[in-house]
Structure 1
Amino acid sequence: MASCYAEVFGSEEPHFLESCSLCRKHLGRNSDIFMYRGDKAFCSNECREEQIESDEAKEKSRKVSARSLRKKSSEAAKDCKTVRTGTLVVA
């Protein structure tokens, strides 16, 4: 059974060491390969660094978003008033 990649592009999905994960440049057999996170290959240290910087920016953005949500939740909790319900008896 062919992979989804093969159905769309007409060939088997390339091995991750065949092309740069960022610019898609072909990685030759006698060229240096720069690895990142064990499963991403790059043609140069510059491509690798660009990917690292991109991943760090995304991670920082996620942390800021999570912190902002926690702060809003905390502020909303402070604004809530406790309302007691019960039965009022009038004589």
Structure 2
Amino acid sequence: MSAYYYSGCEDHYEEHYLDCCSLCRKSLHNSDIFMYRGNTPFCSKECRQEQMEVDEAREKNWKSGRSLRKSDAKNSTPNKTVRTGTVAVA
């Protein structure tokens, strides 16, 4: 896998993945780099934290959507007969 791709940072088409912040696209030349998930660079702790929060929210939504689909599947059983009415017991 190549370390080069279009990053959008500084309007260059061929950039190394460590050339700009993954969130705000600020140049990372001659500055500290804050990494997240192994190979995602950020210009500051704030940008990294914002991405972490976005990822957590996305994961939480994905998990809640997945659990809703599972509960819907459990509650909807085809070919099940449901009878309603009144029962009197003496």
Normalised by the shorter chain, which TM-score bucket? 0.7 to 0.9
Q: What RMSD in Å do the two structures reach over aligned CA positions? A: 2.2
Percent identity at matched positions?
49
User: Distance in 2 between the 1:68 and 1:55 partners?
Assistant: 20
Is there any run of 5+ residues in structure 2 with no aligned partner, and where?
A: 82-90
User: Distance in 2 between the 1:45 and 1:10 partners?
Assistant: 25
TM-score by length of 1: 0.72
Q: Identify which of 3, 10, 13 aligns with 1:11.
A: 13
Is there any run of 5+ residues in structure 1 with no aligned partner, and where?
A: 83-91
Deviation of residue 80 (structure 1)?
A: 3.7
Distance 1:27 1:4, change over 3 A: closer
User: Distance in 1 between the 2:5 and 2:32 partners?
Assistant: 30
User: Distance in 2 between the 1:23 and 1:4 partners?
Assistant: 17
What is the identity, as a one-letter code, of the residue corresponding to 1:26?
S
Number of residues paired by the alignment? 74
Q: Is the helix fraction higher in 1 or 2?
A: 1
Deviation of residue 10 (structure 1)?
A: 6.9
Q: Which runs of 4+ in 1 moved over 4 A?
A: none
Residue 36 of structure 1 pairs with residue 36 of structure 2: yes
Q: Is the 8 A contact 2:19 2:28 kept in 1?
A: yes
Residue 45 of structure 1 pairs with residue 45 of structure 2: yes
Q: Is the 8 A contact 2:35 2:48 kept in 1?
A: yes
